[in-house]
Amino acid sequence: MIKHYVKIAFRNLAQQKVLTGINAFGLSVGIACFSLFLLYAVHEFSYDRFHTNAGRIYRVVEWWQGEGRAPGGSGGMYTPVAEAMKRDFADVEYAVRLKGADCFMKAGDRIFNTSITYADNSFFNIFTFPLIYGNAKTALQQPDQLVITKEKALQLYGTTNVVGRILEIKTDSAFEPYTISAVAENIPANSSVKFNLLCSFERIINHPEVQKSNKDWYMTIGLEAFVQLKPGSRLAYEQNRLDLFRKKYYSEEQKPRKKGKKAEKKKEPEIQTSFRLQPIRDIHTNPQIEGGTDPKNIWLLITIAGAVLLIACINFTTLAIGRSAGRAKEIGVRKVMGSQRTQLIGQFLAESLLLSVASAITGLILAHALLPLFNQLADRKLSFSLSRFPELPWLLVGLTLLVALLAGSYPALVLSSFKPILVLKQKIRVGGANLFTRSLVTLQFVLSIGLIISTIIILQQLSYIRSKNIGFNKENVVMINAQGIHSKKIYPLYKEAIQSQSGILSVTASEMGLGSGEGQMGWGFTDHLGQVKGVIAYPGDYNFLNAMGIQLVAGRNFNPSIASDSMGAVIVNEALVQQVLGTTNEKALGMEIRNAKGDAATKKIIGVSRNFNFEDLTHTVRPQMFYRPAILEPSRIFVRLQAGDPRRHLALLDANWKKLVPDAPFEYHFLDEKFDNFYKNEKRWSAIAGWAGGISIFLACLGLFGLAALAAVNRTKEIGIRKVMGATVTNVVALLSKEFIMLIAIALLVASPLAWYVMHDWLQAYAWRINITWWVFAVTGFFALLVAVTTVSVQAIKAALTNPVKSLRTE
C-alpha cells in the first residue's frame, strides 16, 4: 500500500513540475534560513556548556544594588578574592584567577601581536580544554611554561607538535624565553574563557602592580576569578554566606556612613555591594553583568527564524492546496470508484511527506553552502557540528515531519471530504482562495513588509550617525599602535622623520586611542553644585586639537613655547563648561578645576572646544578635557594623510617605523573605520533583518504565485465568460490582481504600525536619531505591491490569454 502511495505521489508531483518545484524550493529556502538562525541561537545559548563540570563552575562577580542605579555587576575581580574563597569555603573545590595582557611574540625574525593569559595551576582542573600534547597536571607548574593553542602553533611553526620549543615573548620591555609545555585544542567558539597563550599566574605574581593589588582589596587589574564548587554545594544560592565573606574582608563597608540628619542621608544614594557567584553558563547571556549580551536579540532572531519558517510552511500548504485544486475531479472519480477516505488522506500525506523530506534535504544542503556567508553576516564561527549539538538532527527530523503533517493535512482532509457528485459536477470550488489561505498570505506579507521597513529604518539611522558631523574630522587619519614601544623617545623621532614628507598633513599623538574598542580614561570632578561628575580626559600632544580638526570656541590652543601649558593647563569642551562649571565659555577661561579626590594638581582652563563626540552616538556629548602631560608617553600616533589612495603614504609610514622600531610590528587602523566599528552590531542586525526581509518577501511571493495560480484555475470559466462578454486582457489582469492588492494593502496597514512601534523603541537608544518618515512605509508598500502585482500578473496574463472557447468547452 505504502509503495503504491509513493509511486502515485511521485507521478503526481512529476506532473505539476512548476508548482511542485516552487513548493519544494520555497520550503528548502525556509528550512535553510531557519536552520542557520537556529544554529546561531543554539550557539549563543550553548556558551560554556562544554565544560565537563559546567554545572559547578561559577565566576565571582561584584554586584551593586541600590537607589539611583539599575542593579548590575562586573566580573572584574580583586586579586586576593579567589584564594580567600578557597581558604574560607570548604565547598570550593578549586579557584582560579585569570588575567589577560597584550604581548608580542617572536618566531624566527617575525613578530606577532597577540594576547597572553595568566592563570593559576587549577585552570585545567576546572575548565575542559583538551590538550593534544603535554600533560594538564604539569603544564602550568613552572613560571616559564606556556600552553599554546593548536591555531597559534600552526600560525607560528606550521605544525602542532611543538612541546619543548622556546618561544620569545615581550610583555613589558624586553623579549623573554618561555618553554612550550603543552598544545591545546582550539578554543570552541562558544567559550567565554579564551586564550591564545596560557602561562602560570606565578609569572606575574611579583610584578609590582600585582603585588600591590594582592594587598589592596579595592584595586582591580582586569582580573577574573572562577571557582568550582564541590558536588552538592549550594554556596552560589546561599547569599548570606557570601555576604559574611564580604563583611570579613570589607569591614568598613558595614559602618554607618554618616551620622547626619535624615534629610541629608536621603540625598546620598545608598549602594550595596556584594559578591555573587555567577554560573558559567550564564555569562554570555546575562546582560546585567558587564560583557553579557542581551538574550532579547537572540530571541528576536529566533522569532524571525520562526516567522520565516512559518511563511515557508504557509506557502507549502497554500501551494499544496493549489496543486490539489486541479485534482478535485480525480478525487471525485477515485471516490466513486470506492476509494476510502483514509486512503485518500494517506495519498495526500505521502505526497507532502515526500516533498517535505526532499525539501528538508535540499534545505540542509543549502544551509551548509550558505554557512560561510552567514558566518560573515553574523560575525560568528558557526559550524554544523553534530558533536557540539547532538540535538540538531532530531530537531530537524521533527521539524520535517511537522511541516509535512501541517502542510499535507489541510489539503488531505479538505479534499478527501468532498462529496464526489458535487465535484464531478463542478458545483463547488476547491477550497483554496478561501479566507484561510488569504489570511496566511496576508500574514506573510505583514512579516515581510515589517522586516523590510525595519531594515530601511536601521540603515537610515546608520547612515545618519555615520554622516553626522561628530565635531572633528575622522577621515584620512591613520592611527598607529604605539603600545609596548619606548614611545616617549620614539614618537618625537618618528614625527620628525615623517611630518615633512609629501602627503603627510599632520602628525600628533595621544596616550588614549579613539574609536571602538579603545576605551576611555576619566576622572571625577566636583561640579558647581558639589556633585561628582565624570570627565573624560585626553592626554595628547600640543597639536592634538588642530590635527584632529577640533575647533575652539573660546581661548587659545596649547603652545609648546609656553612652559605652563604642559603643567596643568587644560582645554575643555562646551559640555564641561555647562554641566560641570555651569557657566559661559568666556567666563570659564582662566577658571581652575579640581579633581574630586584632590590628589591631582589643579587644572587651569585656557580654551574651550566645540562639542564633539568621540563615543558612539547612543551617547550625548559628555564633559571632556585635553591636556599636554609634562612627559608625553603616547599609546597611539595619529597621522593625517592627504585624501586619495593611501597606499604610498602607508608604505612610507611603515618604512620609517621599521627603521625606528624594528622589534614591534607596524600596526594601524583608519580612524573612520574605528568609529564605524561602534556600529558593528547595528550593521549586523540590519544585514540580518535585510536578508530575512528579502527572503521572506521572496517566499511570500512564491505563496502569492501559487495562490494566483489557484485563483486562475478556479476562475477559468468565469474568465472565459467575461472574455466572451468583451473583457480585454487588461480587464482580466485587473480582475485577478484586485483582490491580491487588497491583501497587500491590509498587510501594509497591519505591518506599518507594528514596525513603527518596534523601530521607534529601538531608536530611543540613540542620543542622535532620525525621525521615522512616512515615505519609508509608502516606498515599502509600493515595492511590495509592485512585486506582488508582477507575481500575480504572470498568472493573470496567462489566464487572460487563454482562448475562452477552451475554458468554456470543459463541460
Partner 1 sequence: MIKIRDLEKIYRTEEVETVALNKISIDVKEGEFVAIMGPSGCGKSTLLNILGLLDDPDNGSFLFNNIEVAHFNERKRAELRKHNIGFVFQSFNLIDELTVFENVELPLIYTGVKSGERKKRVEEVLDKMQIMHRRNHYPQQLSGGQQQRVAVARAVVNNPKLILADEPTGNLDSSNGNEVMSLLTDLNEQGTTIIMVTHSEHDARYSHRIIRMLDGQTVLENIMV
Footprint of partner 1 on this chain (CB under 8 A)?
A: 717-718, 720-728, 731, 803-805, 808-809, 811
- In angstroms, what is the minimal distance from the CB of 746 to partner 1? 20
Question: Minimum distance from CB of 418 to partner 1 (Å)?
Answer: 17
d(CA 18, CA 552): 69
653 HSE (CA, 13 A, CB side): 29
State which residue, 624 or 714, has the beta carbon closest to partner 1. Answer: 714
Which phi-psi region, left, alpha or beta, contains residue 517 (left: φ > 0; alpha: ψ -120 to 50)?
Answer: left
CB of 808 to partner 1, least distance (A): 6
Smallest separation (angstroms) from partner 1 to the CB of 468? 56
Nearer to partner 1, 111 or 734 (CB): 734
- The residues near 456 (Cβ < 8 Å, ≥ 6 apart) are 776, 779, 780
Closest CA to 54 of 217, 238, 226, 235: 226
| Phi, psi values for residue 101, rounded to 5° | -150, 155
Nearer to partner 1, 431 or 513 (CB): 431
Shortest Cβ distance from residue 323 to partner 1 (Å)? 23
Taking the complex as a whole, how short is the minimal distance between the CB of residue 724 and partner 1, in angstroms?
6
Nearer to partner 1 (CB atom), residue 258 or residue 425: 425
DSSP 8-state symbol, 143 = T
For the residues of 103-126, what is the DSSP string, one character each?
EEEEETTEEEEEEEEEE-TTHHHH
* Least Å from the CB of residue 431 to partner 1: 15
Minimum CB–partner distance for residue 721 and partner 1 (Å): 5
- Nearer to partner 1 by Cβ, of 413 and 724: the residue is 724
Write the CA distances from 146 to 116, 130, 310, 578, integer angstroms.
9, 15, 51, 52
Q: Using an 8 Å Cβ cutoff, are 478 and 668 in contact?
A: yes
Contact 431, 317 (CB under 8 A): no
Report the alpha-carbon distance of residue 136 to residue 139 in Å, rounded. Answer: 5
Q: How far apart are CA 762 and CA 367, in angstroms?
A: 30
CB of 728 to partner 1, least distance (A): 7
Type of residue found at 143: P
CB of 421 to partner 1, least distance (A): 16
Cβ proximity to partner 1: between 548 and 796 the closer is 796
Contact 539, 510 (CB under 8 A): yes
- Residue with smaller CB distance to partner 1, 380 or 722: 722
Comparison of 501 and 728: residue with beta carbon closer to partner 1 = 728
Q: Name the residue nearer to partner 1 (CB basis): 452 or 727.
A: 727
Query: Which 3 state secondary structure label does DSSP give 743?
Result: helix
DSSP letter for each residue of 540-598: B-TTHHHHHTPPEEEE----TTSGGGGTTEEEEEHHHIIIII-S-HHHHTT-EE-BTTS
Quote helix, strand, coil % in the chain, to nearest 5.
50, 20, 30
Name the burial class of residue 465, with classes exposed (0-12), middle (13-18) and buried (19+) by CB atoms within 10 angstroms of its CB: buried
- Closest to partner 1 by CB, 271 or 801: 801
